[in-house]
Structure 1
Amino acid sequence: MSENNLEALRNKVVSLATESLQKDDATGWFETVYTDAKGDSSQVPWAKSTSHPYLQDWLEKYPPNTEGKTAIVIGCGLGDDAETLAKLGFKVTAFDISPTAISWCQQRFPDSEVNYLVGDLFNLDSSIQHSFDFVFECRTIQALPLKMRSDSIEAVSSLVGEKGTLIVITRYRDSETEPDGPPWPLSEGELSLFKQLGLQEVRRDIFIEESQPGIVQFRLQYQRF
Structure 2
Amino acid sequence: MTETPGFDRSQELAKASLAAGSPTDWFEQLYDAAAHGEVEIPWDRGGPHPLLSEWFAQYPEEATGSGRTAVVPGAGPGHDAELLASLGFRTTAFDISHTAIDRITAAHPSSTVDYRVANLFDLPEEWRGAFDLVVEAMTVQSMPRDVRTRATAAVRSLVAPGGVLLVIGGVLPPEPDPDYGPPWRLTRAEIEAFGTDDLALERVVHDTEGIRYRAVFRRRAA
Match of 2:218 among 217, 220, 223: 223
User: 1:158-208: CA deviations, max 9, x gaps?
Assistant: 000000001110123367984522211111221232222531111211126
Q: Secondary structure at the match of 2:180?
A: coil
User: 1:112-145: CA deviations, max 9, x gaps?
Assistant: 1110000100101111100100000000010100
Distance 2:37 2:103 in 1: 10
C-alpha distance 25-16 of structure 1, shift in aligned 2 (>3 A)? same
Unaligned runs of at least 5 residues, structure 1: 210-214
Cross-structure match for 2:13: 16
Distance 2:37 2:197 in 1: 39
Alignment of 1:1-225 (within 5 A): 9-38=6-35, 43-63=40-60, 64=62, 65-173=64-172, 178=178, 180-207=180-207, 209=209, 216-225=211-220
Quote the sequence identity (%).
Answer: 37
Offset, 1:11: 1.2
Distance 2:94 2:204 in 1: 25
Offset, 1:48: 1.8
Give yes or no for contact 2:168–2:212 (8 Å, CA) kept in 1. Answer: yes
Offset, 1:110: 0.6
**TM-score with structure 1 setting the length:** 0.89
The number of residue pairs the alignment matches comes to: 216
Q: Secondary structure at the match of 1:180?
A: coil
Q: Secondary structure at the match of 1:136?
A: strand
C-alpha distance 203-40 of structure 1, shift in aligned 2 (>3 A)? farther
C-alpha distance 41-110 of structure 1, shift in aligned 2 (>3 A)? farther
C-alpha distance 102-182 of structure 1, shift in aligned 2 (>3 A)? same
Distance 2:82 2:179 in 1: 33
Distance 2:141 2:175 in 1: 15
**TM-score with structure 2 setting the length:** 0.90
Distance 1:129 1:181 in 2: 29
C-alpha distance 126-58 of structure 1, shift in aligned 2 (>3 A)? same
Deviates more, 1:17-26 or 1:33-42: 33-42
Distance 1:62 1:132 in 2: 19
Distance 1:83 1:48 in 2: 14
C-alpha distance 77-197 of structure 1, shift in aligned 2 (>3 A)? farther
Cross-structure match for 1:212: none
